[in-house]
Structure 1
């Protein structure tokens, strides 16, 4: 028995419809598992020294069909972007504060203390450490107050409210620029200890700052109501790469 021409046409369309339904079911399942979609990540530059390279590399290999949108963004801006729905997740310095911060989940992903960087021709090059008094006598290179207010407040406390060195400091928006300006002899750069993991370049010297001064934690933040499968997949990658962060997330959500 052979189908009629009308039957052939019907079977062709039916097969196509079945194939489309099968493909749609597969695509829906992948989306539910966070294997497709988009992740918008805001980050500060120092997070690209550690821990983001390993996390993003693993996430990209395991979720090649997720579109990663990366935005370099100062801590002073990222909380507002999360609350406005412009970002899915942010890596910033210090937990968000102010209006709406209670709607964000934040867990530490790194700890830093203050270090100094100078050019190889600087008088402090070769020293293991520099004191606060020595810093007060030098031109400084620091992050902008509006970008990293918690860091700026800590430096003001360390050096003194009336520190002329801070008032006349050169401003640099990321750690790589701080290191580069120090190498050029502009002054003493002040930044996080994770600068020590930056690719070594000739002409710079790193010093500890005494007394040892803790900086705000590197923090991962996202909206507490966000149940996006892609965000969930990203957090799973963070858990596997950073067990301490995974434990903090479990405690935050009551899974401990």
Structure 2
């Protein structure tokens, strides 16, 4: 039994006449009569009564037609669903990210992707860079946003591109002596109680701070989980918060930001994914990233050998 047999039987039931049904189907009447007869032999039951008044479903025919109608509807839905999945309009995306990526660029990327792909299930996991890199390598994530490129066994199979550049800035309460200054020197910062991100979560940042400020300043600092906590503790007057310049996009009443001189670059914000992943959902997400972050598309082209912005799936890493 084929789908056309179901369509033929439904058309015959609708029109009640072999000639009219054949015309509606765009076929000749004899082939239609033969197909219905073949179907009845396969079913082992007469599905239609042929009378001078027309053709009418039998009891067996009515039972068959009810199922046939649902079967065709399911086949149509299956075709639609398959097409949507192939275009990355359904499915899931597992994203690991550090908290500061929620300042930039993730808000624009996620809102844009959500509007374009409302039926894709986003599974979002905030985690430290080292953990998200390991989870991506193990295949438990589809994409990771980390400080610095992922490292460790298996990282060579990842495609990694920068999605954000940062330098160190300070945040203080509006009553702090530095609050009226546009910038503070490293020596000024070193003499203050400090607030920094957890060292074990972002070792590259901590290592840079130790080089810049010295071990004593960093070892005596208050430790915050993320940039939002750094800003919050600074607002409480605990000390001088140190974090990435993307903190400027999250001003909080009662705080002031200061540049730190000389300017100290921080590890780049890196987006990574498995270069062998052919998922259409991943391809759609990366296209959204490229549209939201203009410089990323060219970097992905160079790194993956694929032209982004067309909604197609990623090619293998080089």
TM over 0.5: same fold? yes
Instruction: Note the residue ranges of structure 2 that are not aligned, 5 or more in a row.
Output: 1-54, 308-318
CA RMSD between the two structures = 1.2
Q: Does 1:228 align with 2:282?
A: no
Aligned residues: 253
Q: Which residue does the alignment assign to 1:82? A: 136
CA distance in 1, matches of 2:291, 2:187: 43
Q: Which of these residues, 189, 204, 207, is aligned with residue 241 of structure 2?
A: 189
Higher relative contact order (Cα pairs below 8 Å, separated by 6+ residues)? 1
CA distance in 2, matches of 1:86, 1:253: 21
Task: Compare 77-86 and 107-116 and name the one that shifted more.
Answer: 77-86
Q: Does 1:166 align with 2:218?
A: yes
Q: Please give the residue correspondences for 1:8-87 in structure 2 after superposition, counting only pairs within 5 Å.
A: 8-87=62-141
CA distance in 2, matches of 1:241, 1:125: 33
Aligned partners of 2:198 and 2:226 also within 8 Å: no
CA distance in 2, matches of 1:102, 1:235: 19
CA distance in 2, matches of 1:127, 1:107: 35
Aligned partners of 1:90 and 1:222 also within 8 Å: yes
Q: CA deviation at 1:87?
A: 1.1
Aligned partners of 1:76 and 1:146 also within 8 Å: no
Structure 1's consecutive aligned runs of 4 or more residues displaced over 6 angstroms after TM superposition are none
Q: Which residue does the alignment assign to 1:176? A: 228
Q: CA deviation at 1:147?
A: 0.8
CA distance in 1, matches of 2:174, 2:65: 78
CA distance in 1, matches of 2:204, 2:56: 79
CA distance in 2, matches of 1:155, 1:166: 7
What is the TM-score normalised by the length of structure 2?
Answer: 0.77
Q: Which residue does the alignment assign to 1:141? A: 195
Aligned partner of residue 238 in structure 1, secondary structure:
helix
Aligned partner of residue 60 in structure 1, secondary structure:
helix
Deviations 1:133-154 (A, max 9, x none): 1122111111112111111111
Q: Please give the residue correspondences for 1:106-117 in structure 2 after superposition, counting only pairs within 5 Å.
A: 106-117=160-171
CA distance in 1, matches of 2:95, 2:306: 25
Aligned partners of 1:114 and 1:190 also within 8 Å: yes
Aligned partners of 2:275 and 2:304 also within 8 Å: no
Q: Does 1:121 align with 2:175?
A: yes
What is the TM-score normalised by the length of structure 1?
Answer: 0.95
CA distance in 2, matches of 1:212, 1:242: 24
CA distance in 2, matches of 1:38, 1:52: 17
Q: Which of these residues, 240, 261, 277, is aligned with residue 210 of structure 1?
A: 261
CA distance in 2, matches of 1:238, 1:136: 38
Q: CA deviation at 1:74?
A: 1.1
Aligned partner of residue 180 in structure 2, secondary structure:
coil
Q: Does 1:131 align with 2:185?
A: yes
